[in-house]
């Protein structure tokens, strides 16, 4: 067994039950688990590996991303989709996404994972729902595993094409029997529900406007027949989403989710911009979670989710960067800052969200949404997932009075260190598990091919 000591931390932000912030802090890790947390003077002086931060860095739990579409990394700022709302934007992009290949899935996933890690993310989910050509979720799982990111891989799906009243073209939907068969295969081949698991499988029919009610119900039944397999979809994303639900099901989105069995502490929904007060109460009662994606919601003019109202009702809420083609970034610290600012704008109240509220969404909130009790804060027995941000950078000048709040108020563009499952994945702002220039070149080459097909 190996030990790792991180010492002389300017401020150790534990996010533990007491929300302790320890000056001159230290962490002792044994293999992939935190063994001790405290001040540098309290912890041992020796370990197999020692990282001395010289009292110039903040350490905090790794950030957690609860909603993404990795493959969209290849189709950012597409001209035809720059000024469309959600449905217009989707219809523009479906034709491009029809050219996806297994190779494109692999490199887009690894590129997205690299961006996330450099921005402080140590655990992510991804919602992949389109499988043309030779695409399989296995390629994404392989790509993320190799880079070292803790991963909740969602087997998404679309089964309702335009001829049946859905939004996607018929050529991009799958047969529901095939979807369920592949979902079961992935669970049985990859899902690991043990503590400190690096890979879990999620079942995630794409949205009410791209799958049938039967698939929603059968996916829920399948997921709940295995321990720890959760459910995820898009819900109440914008006004058009609500109008579709009323026209198709005679139900508003929250009531539709309830009608197909998609409320519960094993379910989380992305966006929920237009969630009704009645639905918020039901989400709170059942422990149903929400992935808040503020940048995407602004980009597509969907509206502003009622995050303060959700939090006041004790609904589990985490952050999601959403697809890189609707953000158009993959940066979790920036998402936290945007969530912080946007909550204040929505409620026209500076008290609507504090900087530490935003950090909570990005850490403990995300862990709760993903059903994890082994990540999200720093305490003995928790997974060794943590990040360090050096204070000696231009954007932090003058923040000595509250450098923790500066992580949100100011621009935190990258992390200096990231440890995931006890392994150093970022060292002095550089990835250790992949050659980034090579990855960028390959991803760009594949993106060009995608547009030329």
For the stretch 41-85, pLDDT in tens is 999 999 999 999 999 999 999 999 999 999 999 999 999 899 999
Residue 441 lies in a domain: no
Query: Which tokens in the block code for residue 359?
Result: 């950090």
Of 352, 369, 386, which one is at a domain's C-terminal end? 369
Tally of domains in the chain: 2
φ and ψ of 360, to 5 deg: -65, -45
Residue range of the domain that includes 391: 3-62+377-431
What distance in Å separates the CA atoms of residue 351 and residue 8, rounded to the nearest whole number?
33
The answer to whether residues 262 and 220 touch, using CB atoms and an 8 Å cutoff, is yes
Are 252 and 344 in the same domain?
A: yes
Beta strand segments in 139-288, E: 150-157, 199-205, 230-235, 267-271
For the stretch 84-127, pLDDT in tens is 999 999 999 999 999 999 999 999 999 999 999 999 999 999 99
Nearest to 234 by CA among 340, 103, 114, 87: 87
Are 339 and 393 in the same domain?
A: no
Residues in the chain: 453
Are 305 and 161 in the same domain?
A: yes
The answer to whether residues 307 and 283 touch, using CB atoms and an 8 Å cutoff, is no
What distance in Å separates the CA atoms of residue 446 and residue 269, rounded to the nearest whole number?
31
The CATH number of the domain where 243 resides is what? 3.20.20.140
For the stretch 191-213, pLDDT in tens is 999 999 999 999 999 999 999 99
Residue whose structure tokens are 């198709």: 248
Residue 359 lies in a domain: yes
What distance in Å separates the CA atoms of residue 156 and residue 174, rounded to the nearest whole number?
11
Residue 1 — pLDDT band, cuts 50, 70, 90?
confident
What distance in Å separates the CA atoms of residue 193 and residue 348, rounded to the nearest whole number?
42
Residue 228 pLDDT exceeds 90: yes
Are 217 and 365 in the same domain?
A: yes
Residue 450 lies in a domain: no
Output the CA angle 256-259-264, nearest 5 degrees: 95
Q: Is 66 helix (H, G, I), strand (E, B) or coil?
A: coil
Helix residue spans in 237-329 (DSSP H) = 239-249, 253-259, 277-286, 294-299, 307-312
What distance in Å separates the CA atoms of residue 384 and residue 143, rounded to the nearest whole number?
22
Are 381 and 296 in the same domain?
A: no
Residue 440 lies in a domain: no
Residue 447 lies in a domain: no
For the stretch 142-184, pLDDT in tens is 999 999 999 999 999 999 999 999 999 999 999 999 999 999 9
Residue 453 pLDDT exceeds 80: no
Are 270 and 393 in the same domain?
A: no
Residue 363 pLDDT exceeds 90: yes
Are 387 and 284 in the same domain?
A: no
For the stretch 26-43, pLDDT in tens is 999 999 999 999 999 999
Nearest to 21 by CA among 42, 40, 38: 38
The CATH number of the domain where 29 resides is what? 2.30.40.10
Are 138 and 285 in the same domain?
A: yes
For residues 441-448, average pLDDT: 97
For the stretch 301-334, pLDDT in tens is 999 999 999 999 999 999 999 998 999 999 999 9
Please list the residues that pair with 430 across neighbouring strands. 427
CB atoms within 10 A of CB 393: 14
Q: Is 60 helix (H, G, I), strand (E, B) or coil?
A: strand
């Amino acid at each position: 067994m190996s030990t790792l000591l991180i010492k002389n931390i300017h401020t150790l932000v534990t996010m533990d039950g007491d929300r302790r912030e320890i000056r001159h802090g230290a962490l002792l890790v044994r293999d992939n688990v935190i063994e001790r947390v405290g001040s540098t003077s309290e912890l041992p002086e020796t370990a197999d590996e020692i990282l001395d931060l010289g009292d110039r860095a903040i350490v905090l739990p790794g950030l957690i991303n609860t909603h993404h579409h990795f493959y969209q990394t290849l189709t950012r700022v597409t001209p035809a989709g720059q000024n469309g709302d959600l449905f217009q934007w989707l219809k523009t992009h479906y034709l491009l996404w029809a050219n996806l290949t297994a190779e494109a899935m692999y490199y887009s996933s690894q590129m997205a994972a690299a961006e996330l890690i450099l921005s402080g993310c140590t655990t992510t989910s991804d919602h992949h729902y389109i499988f043309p050509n030779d695409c399989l979720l296995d390629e994404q799982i392989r790509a993320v595993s190799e880079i070292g990111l803790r991963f909740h891989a969602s087997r998404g799906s679309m089964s309702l094409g335009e001829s049946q009243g859905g939004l996607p073209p018929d050529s991009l939907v799958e047969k529901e029997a095939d979807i369920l068969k592949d979902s079961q295969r992935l669970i049985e081949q990859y899902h690991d529900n043990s503590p400190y698991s690096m890979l879990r499988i999620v079942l995630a029919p794409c949205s009410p406007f791209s799958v049938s009610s039967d698939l929603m119900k059968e996916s829920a039944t399948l997921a709940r027949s295995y321990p720890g397999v959760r459910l995820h979809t898009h819900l109440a994303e914008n006004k058009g989403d609500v109008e579709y639900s009323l026209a198709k099901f005679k139900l508003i989105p929250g009531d539709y989710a309830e009608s197909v069995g998609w409320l519960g502490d094993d379910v989380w929904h992305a966006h929920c911009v237009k969630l009704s007060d009645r639905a918020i109460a039901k989400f709170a009662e059942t422990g149903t979670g929400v992935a808040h994606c503020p940048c995407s919601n602004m980009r597509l003019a969907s509206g502003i989710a009622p995050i303060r109202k959700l939090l006041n009702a004790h609904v589990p809420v985490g952050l999601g960067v959403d697809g890189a083609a609707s953000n158009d970034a993959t940066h979790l610290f920036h998402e936290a800052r945007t969530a912080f600012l946007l909550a204040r704008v929505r409620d026209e109240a500076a008290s609507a969200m504090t900087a530490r509220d935003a950090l909570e969404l990005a850490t403990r909130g995300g862990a709760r949404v993903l059903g994890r009790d082994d990540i999200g804060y720093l305490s003995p027995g928790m997974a060794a997932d943590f990040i360090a941000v050096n204070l000696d950078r231009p954007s932090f000048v003058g923040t000595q009075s509250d450098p923790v709040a500066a992580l949100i108020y100011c621009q935190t563009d990258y992390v200096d260190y990231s440890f995931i499952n006890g392994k150093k994945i970022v060292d002095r702002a550089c990835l250790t598990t992949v050659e980034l220039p090579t990855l960028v070149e390959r991803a760009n080459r594949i993106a060009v091919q995608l547009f030329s097909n």
